[in-house]
Every structure is written in structure tokens, then in C-alpha cells.
Amino acid sequence: MSTMTKTSDRCEFRILWRWPQTRRGLCISAIALTLLGLAAPILGSRAQPPEGLLLGVLLDYTGPLGGHGEPTEAGIRLAVAQVNQAGGVLGHPVSLRIADGRTEPETAIAEAENLVSQGVHAIIGPSGSAATMAVARTVSGSERIATVSPSATSPELTTVSDEGFLFRTAISDSAQGDTLAKLAGRAGISHIAVAYQPDSYGLGLLRTFDESFDGQLTTLEVGSVGSYPRQLREAARNGARALAVFTYLGAAETLLLEATAEGLFPQYFLADAVATGDLHLVIEPEHFGAMLGTGPGGSDPEHAGSRVVAQEMKEAFGHLPRSAALSAYDATVCLCLAAEQARSTDREAIRNALHHVCGGDGRRIAAGSAGVLEALGAIRQGESIDYDGAASDVDWNEAGDVTDGFVGVYRYSKDGAVLQERIRFSRP
């Protein structure tokens, strides 16, 4: 531990293959999904590539981020179902191949290469920043394949060498870290303990938080120890009046359970890897009032896309969006619209078209099933569009970063994270 001080009409598809149903997350069966029109074709590695657009899904279903895989996949499945209901892409249904990155950069690289060898036209994922950094450097650029991460947030990804093939629908931690620091300052916190994951996600978030926080930081690196009561007590004894958690969900649960059990901190500030997960199932309700989290804040409130997609997801899966479901929905829709715009499934053509359909000068069309239908129809008629997403407006700069949108501020109830406030961010 160290201390730093700063002054300053339904459709139906046959599932050809999918992961075993032992994965936790989606509480709805394949049969039910078919009846809902959400069972998009999911192809196994030995299946012949389809005629239409084939998207690779590279999320983490095991490892520290494993709990986010299926909830995030729900957004992809909803988007593909809506696209296929609207006629598919280039007259054919969109299909998926799914791979598990296991929250390991080396595994993510191997699985990305495997997806490419199986003929995918674009990749949705990876989940975490470290894996995304690795895949961008070794696969995305060299294979000329658009790679859209719904949840990688490290600022380091802005400058990664990817030859322009990496995009993100998740907000960068340059926005989230600044927002968390401002929330802590607004709460009157002058000394805060920060528990962080020692990788590109945790370190990137720590740096941006430190740049914006006008006060003292006591840092606690989260490693393989698995329990941190001594470090937490020491931070509290040294004067920290709040705990910020920049780790993955498993470590965060341990930290928060240990800290709240002893009443060590009056307030807690949680980043996106924790804030929009299932923390409410672990923490006792009496502690909810002391916790604030940040995560995706949805699109422009003047456009109903975020609320519409959230409601459509609840109708389909029985719950509101979890984890990175909304930004995964956006990644999927953008890639489908780009292929339709390019009139091709050529990988580079899809990459080139992404900027035209998301953040372009065309007619703004909001997310949701009606919006997907409208957007695809407009493109087929030769009209320019600008898709406004469910998680953000999806206006990308040349680095593939979202340039304008909202950081959501979340509080907690027995039903999960509840969006309380949107704070706008803007970047070049």
C-alpha cells in the first residue's frame, strides 16, 4: 500500500450450436429464445460459413470477468434478432460464432485468430482492456478486421497500434475517472483509499482519477491474496474516509464485504466493472445508501433509444440490461449497419463504413427495434444515417473512441443498479 498526495412479427431461427447451458447469466432457455425470435443462428467451429454476415463474439465467460459474459451477450442477441426481423443484412440473416476469452490476453488472441480462421467478418469484443489491447495489437490490424469492444475502457487503447481497426462502444476511463473524482469531491472527500487491479484497466482508471482528484490517495493493489482486511484497516486508520474500487467483480465483492463488515468507510465509489453488475446480490441492503457507481449513461436523453432498448430487453429476457449489454447491442447494430452500407461483408469495407453509419452527417435514428428497421430501410434507399445508440451516441473519432455521451451515476436497490444521474462528457 502506498500514499500519494495531490493538492489542487416474430421470426424463428434454429440454433446450430451454442455453449453449454451451465454458464450462469441468461435465465432463459434456447427454446424460449426461439419463441421470442431471439435465437439467432450460433454456429459451431465445424459449421460451414453462412452466406450472410457472420460476427465473431469474443467475450469472457470464465475468469474474473466471467460473470459479465452472458449478460453482455444478451445485448448482442437482441440486436441480431432485431436486424434479422428487419430483413437481415444484404438479404441474409446475421449469424454468430462465440468464443470465451477467459479473461486472459493470451487466450483472447488465440480465440480471435480462431474466429478469423472460421471466416467471421468482424469481432464484437474482447471484454477487458488487457485482452482488447493484446487482440488489437496482434490480430485486428494484421487481419484487417473491425474489432468493437463493448466494455474495454482503458485510456491506453486510444493510442494502441491497431491500424484503425479497433473501436469501442464503451466510454473511456478518461471520462469515467474524471467523473468519479468529481463525485468524491462533491461528497466532501479529501482522503480516499483506491483499490485497483494492476492491469491496463485498473491502472488507467487510477491515473485518470488521480489527475482529477484534489486530495490524498491511499492506493491498494489487488493481487492474488484474495483477502484484504489488514490493508483496508490501515487505510482507514490513516484517514481515508471513502473507498474507491477499480477492480473486477470478484475482488470487489471481497473488498466491499470486508470493509462493510467492519464499518471502515462511510462512502464507496465503484467503477463500471462493478457498478452495473450483480453487487446487490452480495452486499447487505443497509449499505446501499453509502455506495455510488459509474458506468454507461445511455444516449442523449432527447432520444429514447436507451429507454426503448432497456424495455425491449426486459420483455425478452425478464430483466433490465446488465453489465455491458447496451454497449454490446450498439456494437452489433453498428457492424450490421456498416455491412449494409458497404454492400459487402468484406472486412475492410465494413471497417470503412462504420464512421458513415455511426457519427456521420446523416439522419439521426435512435436505437431500438423500430430504429433498426428504419436505419436499414434508409440505407437500402441510399440515404445517409447517423445511428444514435443505446449506451451512447456512438460518435467515433479516428481512434475509434466514443467522443460524446454520458457517464451514468448509479445507486443501488434490492433490484440492482439504478441510474440516478447522467453527466455529459465530450472529447476530441
Residue range 182-205, pLDDT digits in tens: 999 999 999 999 999 998 889 989
Percent of the residues in the chain that have a pLDDT greater than 70, as a whole number:
86
Residue 41 pLDDT more than 80?
no
Which strand ranges, in their side-by-side order, compose the sheet holding 166-168?
A: 95-100, 54-59, 122-124, 147-149, 166-168
- Best CA proximity match to 128, nearest among 82, 68, 183, 191: 68
Encode pLDDT of 313-362 as tens digits: 999 999 888 888 999 999 999 999 999 999 999 999 999 999 999 988 89
Residue 114: exposed, middle, or buried by beta-carbon count in 10 A (0-12, 13-18, 19+)?
A: middle
Residue 13 pLDDT more than 60?
no
Q: Which residue has the higher pLDDT, 2 or 12?
A: 2
Average pLDDT, the chain: 86
What integer pLDDT is reported at residue 17 of this predicted model? 32
Residue 6 pLDDT more than 60?
no
Residue 154 pLDDT more than 50?
yes
Alpha-helical (H) ranges within 224-367 are: 229-237, 249-261, 272-275, 305-317, 325-342, 347-357
Residues 6+ apart with CB under 8 A from 122: 53, 55, 56, 145, 146, 147, 148, 335, 339, 347, 350, 351
- In the chain, where the domains are located: 30-171+302-404, 173-299+406-426
Residue 19 pLDDT more than 50?
no
Residue 255 pLDDT more than 80?
yes
Percent of the residues in the chain that have a pLDDT greater than 90, as a whole number:
63
Among 47-61, 110-124, 182-196, 270-284, the minimum mean pLDDT is found in 270-284
What integer pLDDT is reported at residue 331 of this predicted model? 98
Residue 27 pLDDT more than 50?
no
Q: Which residue has the higher pLDDT, 225 or 211?
A: 211
- Best CA proximity match to 179, nearest among 197, 205, 154, 201: 205
Quickly name the fold that domain 30-171+302-404 has.
Rossmann fold (3.40.50)
What integer pLDDT is reported at residue 127 of this predicted model? 94
Residues 6+ apart with CB under 8 A from 20: none
Q: Which residue has the cell 442523449?
A: 300
Residues 96 and 76: their CA atoms lie apart, in Å, by 9
Q: Which residue has the cell 447487505?
A: 284
Estimate the crossing angle of helix 369-380 against helix 325-342, to 10 degrees: 20
Residue 405 pLDDT more than 70?
yes
Q: Do domains 30-171+302-404 and 173-299+406-426 have the same CATH topology?
A: yes
Amino acid identity, position 5: T
Q: Which residue has the higher pLDDT, 381 or 223?
A: 381
Over range 70-85, report the average pLDDT.
96
Residue 2 pLDDT more than 50?
no
**Integer angstrom CA distances of residue 103 from 28, 61, 68, 127, 128:** 24, 8, 11, 8, 7
Superfamily (CATH) of domain 173-299+406-426: Response regulator (3.40.50.2300)
Q: Decide: 122 and 55 in contact? Cβ < 8 Å.
A: yes
Over range 224-250, report the average pLDDT.
91
